[in-house]
Amino acid sequence: MKYAQTANIIAVAWLIQAFGLGTILTLKATRQTRRLFEVAVVSFVAAAVTIVAFSYAWGPNGTAWGLVVQSTVTLLALSWAQRHAAREFADVKGAAA
């Protein structure tokens, strides 16, 4: 059971990622590809920085904590993208009325 704690930390990261699935579907359904791309870039940068830095500092558990941080940053970026897409939709719908 050497990596049991690491597996538990990764499970937390997956739980955080699960909350972003609805936002991803909303952005895909409304064809917000630019916003999805921007979120993907932010997610990649967060992963590259945190996972590498944390794995050097704390080993396998650090890698898992880096995944938690990356998942949280991605969720925040998705929420931001969805909020801005909803505002744009409301502005377009209001202008059409």
The reported pTM is 0.89
How would you write the pLDDT of the chain (97 residues) with one tens digit per residue? 689 999 999 999 999 999 999 999 999 998 999 999 999 999 999 999 999 999 999 999 999 999 999 999 999 999 999 999 888 888 877 666 5
User: For position 88, what pLDDT does the model report?
Assistant: 84
Whether 24 contacts 43, CB under 8 Å: no
User: For position 20, what pLDDT does the model report?
Assistant: 94
User: For position 96, what pLDDT does the model report?
Assistant: 64
- Measuring CA to CA, how many Å separate 90 from each of 13, 70, 73, 85, 86? 33, 30, 26, 9, 6
